[in-house]
Amino acid sequence: MKKSKILYIGFILVALILIGCSERENPADFPKINEREGLKNDGVFTYPRAYSAIENHAGWEFFNFTESKNFISKIYTPPSFRIQSTPYPILYLLHDFEGDENYYFTKMVHRIADSLIYEEEINEFYIASIDASTPYGGSWYVNNEFFGWFETMVAEQWLDFIEVTLADQLRIIDNRESRGIGGFGMGGYGALKIAAKYPGVFSSVSASNPAGSFQHIEDLIPMMLEEQGLSTPISPDDYQDMDTTNLLTEKPYTLLFFSLAQAFSPHPEEGEPGYEDSTTFVTFYGIDLPFDYNGNIYQPIYDKWHTNGLDDVLTQNAGVFDSIEVYIEVSDTNQFLFHHMAEDVRMMLDNNGINYSYDSYSGYEGYSAFNQRFVYDRLVEILKFHSRYLEEDM
């Protein structure tokens, strides 16, 4: 047989094999669970809502905020969702500092949830996020008269908006056992605090690297001074002229300190206690920093930060956790030392006899478990945890 004929027969045989293979069902083909008839944006909806934030104080005037500041909420709906369909439980997720309502959706929480539902790893439930950001990285979910009532916004107005105002679009199972809350970093801090202070609202809480203790903040002062190009002692002019340009990309430690200061130590109004103390007052921004011109902790301001840690709120409300499922996870490192703060939170839980589930995680060579990293991976465990405790029956 000629060589050319052999090659021709071989080509035909290969073609037939390939055709046969193409007709087989590909086991890697998943159903198109995100293509939902009549719905846009793969089942993720965005809702703006105005809330009554605050009296008209200087801080809000400076940043051109209004008394009726909009908050933005994003809501994931599970695959079987239809308008006025079966009611579902709901998980409220609070973003980390540097985040907003998109924090978990840029980490693909909707895709993760869809996949876990398809694999029957979790039940179906709504997932909601909110914009609790400020011009300096985050609100820390606190109420103050300078930047706003963010705790009230989250724990009361947000829930009322989703579960009452949006009742025609969504159906939430209206009971505590079908409602969970969680968060990373700043969000973990907020989730634990709000769960403790509103025990009749949530039945499960998760916190990843919850930044709930601020006694390690002293170790971060040199990092902030370095990125500011300052050395101690700091001149009064340099102290007042902190550089806040390109915070997100070039000055993460300045961003952290300013976000904490706006939340925990806004400078008092004239006539209020502490107004005369200008030792660490950064006048342009209306905040007090916790370190002085020598780079040392300034105790009056540090004490304000310390009292906003989770120690007091967990101690005073320890009993409520008898009926709240708690999950804590901690990374092996974090550039903002949130992992040390999280270990302090674990100690607080232990000291108050609060039961919790625990997990840890780490990065790998060349890619440490810094802030914002591994959120995608950890969301799998977070969603599985809450699914175990979110009741599906009304």
Per-residue pLDDT of the chain (394 residues; tens, 9 = 90+): 433 434 333 433 333 333 333 222 322 232 333 444 433 346 888 888 776 555 544 455 555 455 556 788 999 999 988 866 789 999 999 999 989 999 999 999 999 999 999 999 999 999 999 999 888 888 999 988 777 788 988 999 899 999 999 988 888 998 999 999 999 999 999 999 999 999 899 999 999 999 989 989 999 999 999 999 999 999 999 999 999 888 878 899 999 999 999 999 999 888 888 999 999 999 988 899 999 999 999 999 999 999 999 999 999 999 999 999 999 999 999 999 999 999 999 999 999 999 999 999 998 888 887 888 889 999 999 999 999 999 997 6
H or E element in which residue 50 lies: strand 44-50
In a domain, 70, yes or no: yes
Residues 325 and 295 in one domain: no
Question: Which structure tokens are listed for 30?
Answer: 């998943």
Residues 261 and 284 in one domain: yes
* Three-class secondary structure of residue 249 per DSSP: helix
In a domain, 1, yes or no: no
End residue of a domain, out of 291, 307, 323: 307
Residues 116 and 101 in one domain: yes
In a domain, 188, yes or no: yes
pLDDT at site 70: 72
In a domain, 360, yes or no: yes
Residues 334 and 281 in one domain: no
Residues 190 and 286 in one domain: no
Question: Is the bond preceding 233 in cis, omega lying within 30 degrees of 0?
Answer: yes
Residues 200 and 125 in one domain: yes
End residue of a domain, out of 251, 279, 307: 307
Burial letters for 211-226: b for 16+ Cβ neighbours within 10 Å, e otherwise?
A: bbbbbbbeebbebbbe
Q: Which residues are paired to 282 by β-bridges?
A: 287
Residues 51 and 139 in one domain: yes
pLDDT at site 13: 37
- Tell whether the torsion through CA atoms of 219, 224, 229 and 231 is positive or negative: negative
Indicate the number of domains in the chain.
Answer: 2
Q: Which residues are paired to 126 by β-bridges?
A: 90
In a domain, 254, yes or no: yes
Residues 96 and 243 in one domain: no
pLDDT at site 126: 97
pLDDT at site 249: 83
Residues 317 and 277 in one domain: no
pLDDT at site 68: 58
In a domain, 23, yes or no: no
pLDDT at site 74: 94
Residue type (1 letter), 168: D
Residue 321, number of CB atoms within 10 A of its CB: 21
Question: Which structure tokens are listed for 318?
Answer: 């320890």
What is the spatial distance between Cα 338 and Cα 135, in angstroms, rounded to a whole number? Answer: 21
In a domain, 5, yes or no: no
Cα 179 to chain centroid, rounded? 17
Residues 61 and 188 in one domain: yes
In a domain, 4, yes or no: no
End residue of a domain, out of 276, 307, 338: 307
Residues 73 and 193 in one domain: yes
pTM attached to this predicted model? 0.87
Range of the domain at 316: 41-213+309-389
Indicate which CATH number applies to the domain containing 105. Answer: 3.40.50.1820
What is the spatial distance between Cα 390 and Cα 184, in angstroms, rounded to a whole number? Answer: 20
* Three-class secondary structure of residue 184 per DSSP: strand
Residues 48 and 122 in one domain: yes
H or E element in which residue 92 lies: strand 90-94
Do 96 and 138 meet the contact criterion of CB atoms below 8 Å apart? yes
